[in-house]
Amino acid sequence: MSIRELSPREALQRQQAGALLLDVRETFEHATGMAAGAVPLPRGEVAGRAAEVAPEPDAEILTICAHGQRSLAAARTLMQMGYTNVASVAGGTARWIEEGLPVAKPGGDEDFYDRYSRHLRLPEVGEAGQRKLESARVVVLGAGGLGSPAAFYLAAAGVGTLVIADDDVVERSNLQRQILHADDRIGMSKLDSAAHALHGLNPRVHLEGLRERVTSANVDALLDGADVVLDGADNFPVRYLLNDACVKLGIPLVYGAVQRFQGQVSVFDAGRQRGRAPCYRCLFPQPPAPEDAPNCSEAGVLGVLPGVVGMLQATEAIKLILGVGEPLFGRVLMFDALAMRFHETRLAPDPECPVCAPGRAFPGYIDYTAFCAGG
């Protein structure tokens, strides 16, 4: 069955003369822009819904897709249904836009549809998923080596609210890995420096900051309303506190850590999945001795390593918000930069965990500094 094809300009002329132009791309593709005046009708719905939009079998109908292939198939379906005056637009919406023909975008928020157009093309995201990201609240602990790349990618992805906790100022030694900051901001608070960088990247993102040390006294308020918490801490007392708070409040915690040339990432969601997902204490029931786990200022770290790990943390946070893919529940992903090798270790929940064991009431916050010092 031969299908008549029209150029986009010919199709526009026919449309202006009264022809019905059907955009047969998927709904998530419509959000990226449509030929002005086109009626959205995904190809898979053509057979069932064509009569709704074109009740007369002799009506002139033009089909358009992204590049011209699906529109040919949709036109063929219409002809098989008895429509007699059908044509397909050669080159599809891509050529329509290239030729500068009128385009309409839904909702009137041109910045949203332009900025997130590559997300909108993904069926797993689409406009509904992007709106989820825009309404999400993510807490990032630390605007340092891990928090910097993670916050950059979360802001770029369109997470609506980023809450960053950091009481430090920018130092020259930070710049080798903490990419939120810049040389002309040495001495500035990391929160102000982060706001400068992130608003420059995406002014749609709302930023909140806590310019204090995170403690048992303020952690609940910090995490209030959070959808995801991202751990970019550089010390064990805060890591244990953050874990316990996330278990207590039922918030998923995206863990990351780096040292020298190695890093690791996991997702702890024991607060919502008691007995099925582990927490940080299931991985480290007791903190290591200080001499066994020196921080970056003592042991050093390859500058790009926090970028890899922070990017992975941001990926997991985005997946959790969207509800897609397989998060790192019960898995610790380890990266060796020198060998350029990833490997994964399974982690089961500890049935005797003092914080996340099923049926165990939250024991309350403790003196985490003393706990990590062996006191």
3-class secondary-structure state, position 198: helix
| Helices 305-322 + 126-135 axis angle, to 10 | 110
Q: Which residues pair with 151 in a beta bridge?
A: none
Instruction: Compute the CA torsion angle 8, 13, 17, 23 (nearest 10 deg).
Output: 10
CA Rg value for the chain: 26
Q: What share of the chain is helix, strand, coil (3-state, %, to 5)?
A: 40, 20, 40
Rounded Cα–Cα distance for residues 166 and 192 (Å): 10
Look at the block and give the residue holding tokens 């500035």.
188
Rounded alpha-carbon distances, angstroms, from residue 44 to 21, 24, 75, 100: 16, 8, 12, 28
296 is catalytic: yes
| Pair 369, 297: CB distance under 8 Å | no
Rounded Cα–Cα distance for residues 140 and 143 (Å): 8
3-class secondary-structure state, position 25: coil
Phi first, then psi, for residue 240 (nearest 5°) are: -65, -40
Please give, one letter per residue, the 3-state secondary structure of 80-115: HCCCCEEEEECCHHHHHHHCCCCEECHHHCHHHHHH
User: Which structure tokens are listed for 109?
Assistant: 């928020």
Phi first, then psi, for residue 325 (nearest 5°) are: 70, -165
Instruction: Compute the CA torsion angle 68, 70, 75, 81 (nearest 10 deg).
Output: 180
| Pair 333, 342: CB distance under 8 Å | yes
Residue 273: Cβ within 10 Å count: 17
Which of 296, 353, 356, 372 is catalytic? The answer is 296
Rounded Cα–Cα distance for residues 205 and 40 (Å): 30
Active site (catalytic) residues = 296
